């Protein structure tokens, strides 16, 4: 899956850049959005008290047809620390390859919360 390798490499590059957290999240969301036919990508913080958007890329579809939400887990505890939410205006937009790619992206995002 060369596409998966490219987006994972890009996520790693963005995470390694010095800069503000929201700016990094925006760049990561845009890179993930550009990796597929996705209309909108959001990155969220997850705490026991709330789920809060950190950044997003794209315009939310006027009529959301498909959505996938992938948890980002703390690698040590296995508890959710974030969410990756992707939307498309296409029906049935997320096949097994998309799901796998987005799960890999969520795992690669774990350092964002450390």
Q: What tens digit of pLDDT does each residue of 30-56 get?
A: 999 999 879 999 999 999 999 999 999
Task: Give this prediction's pTM.
Answer: 0.91
Residue 63: pLDDT above 70? no
* Structural contact between residues 31 and 14, judged by C-beta atoms closer than 8 angstroms: yes
Name the residue ranges covered by the structural domains of the chain. 2-113
Give the pLDDT of residue 114: 84
Is residue 44 exposed (0-12), middle (13-18) or buried (19+ Cβ within 10 Å)? Answer: buried
Fold of 2-113: Beta-Lactamase (3.30.450)
Residue 64: pLDDT above 90? no
- CA-nearest of 38, 27, 21, 17 to 102 is 38
């Amino acid at each position: 899956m060369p596409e998966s390798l490219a987006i994972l490499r890009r996520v790693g590059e963005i995470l390694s850049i010095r800069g503000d957290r929201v700016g990094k999240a925006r760049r990561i969301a845009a890179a993930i959005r550009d990796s597929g036919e996705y209309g909108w990508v959001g990155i969220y913080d997850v705490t026991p008290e709330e789920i809060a958007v950190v950044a997003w890329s794209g315009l939310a579809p006027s009529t959301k047809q498909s959505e996938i939400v992938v948890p980002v887990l703390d690698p040590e505890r296995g508890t959710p620390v974030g969410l990756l939410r992707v939307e498309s205006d296409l029906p049935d937009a997320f096949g097994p390859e998309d799901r796998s790619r987005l799960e890999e992206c969520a795992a690669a995002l774990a350092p964002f919360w450390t």
